[in-house]
Structure 1
Amino acid sequence: MLLSPGMDLTLRPMKYPLFYEMYKDAIKNTWTVEEVDFTTDVGDLRDKLSDAEKHLIKRLVAFFATGDSIVSNNLVLNLYKHINSPEARMYLSRQLYEEALHVQFYLTLLDSYLPNDEERKAAFAAIENIPSIRRKGEFCFRWIDSINELHSLKTREDRQKFLLNLVCFAACIEGLFFFAAFAYVYFLRSKGLLHGLASGTNWVFRDESCHMNFAFSVIDQVRREEPDLFDDGLRRDITRMVDEAVECEMAFAQDVLGFGIAGLSEKDMRSYLEYVADQRLVTLGIAPVYMSKNPFGFMELQDVQELTNFFERRVAAYQVGVTGEVSFNEDF
């Protein structure tokens, strides 16, 4: 079974072809940081953004500075070790490359947006020095540490602990923290600001959506193989975890919106986070909790060709187009 201890090396006969197809599709979805043009962004930062918007951007890039590195660490330390499928490990190897690409993108972003060395150092130290970012970091590290001592998933309890780690990173970190960050970026783009950041974010968004899709597919496969793992206790733990993630992200929202930004309120941000959280819970087979609606029309209307129809169309905007339909049944 998928979470059985060991390291299966046999690709033929292929037991989990879906993961291999995901790996091949990921290879086709290749982009490079050099394709992103930040030229107009620098002018926007200097001449067009309000002080409140500049504060938002500084907080956002400070979160970006370490966010994907945290995901990479969990992938290497935990996911690769315990998902016993050579096809899945091929995908995880590709995901690790994509996380490194995102780190490069955000490093380039910081170098472009924060030319002052001291400001850059402060951004990288934000996970220790800015309370709203530190809170999100502590949430992430707690779930990484929760299975650090598990060398193999021998018991039912071990496997449930692993599933909670996987759910945390798919639904809460990639699926909530990063989706909240994307909303801030697309809000600014809806005002005609920071097109370079938004262009690169389109590609990061696609990658993160694929990472979530893979993790949820792993969870679905485990549910088919070991349905007894998905008991009421696990569902309660997942619901509590997602609720804590919403509150962590709301603390960040209160920070980034603290100076007041017209058209972007804390109330709407909570509604959006609750809406996204419900989407994640439903994907995991758990009843929605919040019943909130998406208040951000710009998330549905922004960049129709590149974003809104991403889940229903062929991806042709990469260097190598994907053949076949791309559909993740995902909502903003």
Structure 2
Amino acid sequence: MCSKAFCQDLFLPKKFPRIRPQFQQGNIGQSMKRRNLFEKRLNIKPYEYPELLEFKDAIRHSYWLHTEFNFTGDIQDYRTTISDHERHVLTRAMLAISQVEVNVKRFWGELYHYFPKPEMDDVGGTFAESEVRHKDAYSFLLEKLGLNEMFSQIQEIEPLMNRIRYMEAFMKDKDAGKGEFVLSLVLFSLFVEHISLFGQFLIMMSFNKYKNLFKGISNAVEATSKEEEIHGKFGIALYEILRDEHSELFTDEFFVELKTLADQAFDAEKDILDWIFEDGDLSFISKETVLNYIKSRCNNSLMVLGLEPPHDINPELLKETEWFDIEILSTKETDFFNKRSTDYSKKMKQITADDLF
């Protein structure tokens, strides 16, 4: 169990400094003015929230396109290399990711409607563009793996539809009040961006980790997960700002509803894991290991918000997933015969081992 300060350090590493109460410095001779995220500002500068622009820069520095990755080997792996059971798990994990990336996430493009600041427009627009890239990548993968027909039948898969329902409930109507929108912001940032897809990301990257398969897909998943991590951290940073500026919104009723909706979202995510592992565990990763990891992310996220962690964690199982956190949180050198670096933007060119000679 970690303290709130420790959890925030975990979610907001040094390049994303903690958000502290600040005041806007006006022109010389003007008094200090307290910031208000809901108050419209037309002039671009001076910035009131310059610290938030670091999240925009982080996405830009991680820029990628699916056309940079080579999926030829992945198609062969999917069709002939893996067992029927492994293909079953992989297919369902892929559908679960694609269902969110392709159909659901439209949240960030609406951010300026509630927080009318140029900084927020910049970050929201950058995040929205990254979601389009995610959508394009997973749409491409569905087509290459021949899963388009299965994706069209998602409405018949109840666990996935339950996820869609809770996510759409988080994305409130544009006319929602401030309190409702802040609740949506917190839940969307934590569950849609920081928790919901990471179970499937872990499953997908495990094939590369333990069997050296699906190198192109693993690249796409790693690149996506890095950006989702940034999105989630940004939501937490906004939460800290809003707690300082508008403490009146964070009533007992707010936290009761937050806890209720968080429990519902977790149950929906657990049902998806049950569906993915319906025919049993994989030899290299179990449903319980993935669920334990999701519980840990959920606990850490809720503790950042000042809530008690609701889930018991198995520390031994958590050690089995440490490699995944290192993959998505750390800058590393890359074996170009295996995977391409997603830490920096690259040219629009697929890279294979043959390209190096």
TM-score w.r.t. length of structure 2: 0.77
CA drift of 1:69 comes to 4.1
Tell me what 1:267 maps to.
288
Paired AA for residue 151 in structure 2? A
Contact 2:44-2:118 within 8 A present in 1 as well = yes
CA separation of 1:293 and 1:80: change in aligned 2, threshold 3 A: farther
**234-243 or 286-295, which moves further after superposition?**
286-295
Structure 2 unaligned residues grouped into runs of 5+: 1-34, 333-340, 347-357
**Which of 122, 127, 135 matches 2:162?**
135
Contact 1:271-1:293 within 8 A present in 2 as well = yes
Work out the CA distance in 2 between the residues paired with 1:28 and 1:34.
17
Work out the CA distance in 2 between the residues paired with 1:303 and 1:230.
31
Contact 2:106-2:128 within 8 A present in 1 as well = no
Contact 2:189-2:236 within 8 A present in 1 as well = yes
**Please, what is the CA RMSD of the aligned residues?**
2.3
Q: Is residue 160 of structure 1 aligned with residue 185 of structure 2? A: no
Work out the CA distance in 1 between the residues paired with 2:224 and 2:99.
15
Q: Is residue 67 of structure 1 aligned with residue 89 of structure 2? A: no
Q: Is residue 216 of structure 1 aligned with residue 236 of structure 2? A: yes
1:135-190 Cα offsets, whole Å, 9 max, x none, are 1011112222x43433xxxxxxx222111111121111111111111111122222
1:273-309 Cα offsets, whole Å, 9 max, x none, are 21111011012222212131462545322596x5453
CA separation of 1:276 and 1:194: change in aligned 2, threshold 3 A: same
Work out the CA distance in 2 between the residues paired with 1:61 and 1:160.
35
Contact 1:301-1:308 within 8 A present in 2 as well = no
Secondary structure of 1:176's match?
coil
Paired AA for residue 284 in structure 1? L
Q: Which structure has more helix as a fraction of its residues? A: 1
Q: Is residue 120 of structure 1 aligned with residue 148 of structure 2? A: yes
Tell me what 1:104 maps to.
136
**Larger RCO of the pair (alpha carbons < 8 Å, separation 6+):** 2
CA separation of 1:24 and 1:303: change in aligned 2, threshold 3 A: closer
Work out the CA distance in 2 between the residues paired with 1:71 and 1:89.
20
**Which of 182, 189, 194 matches 1:170?**
189
Identical residues among aligned pairs (%): 20
Work out the CA distance in 2 between the residues paired with 1:302 and 1:237.
31
CA drift of 1:263 comes to 4.1
CA separation of 1:176 and 1:80: change in aligned 2, threshold 3 A: same
Work out the CA distance in 2 between the residues paired with 1:124 and 1:264.
28
- Give the structure with higher Rg (CA): 2
Paired AA for residue 264 in structure 1? I
Structure 1 unaligned residues grouped into runs of 5+: 151-157, 321-332
- Number of residue equivalences: 301
CA drift of 1:310 comes to 4.2
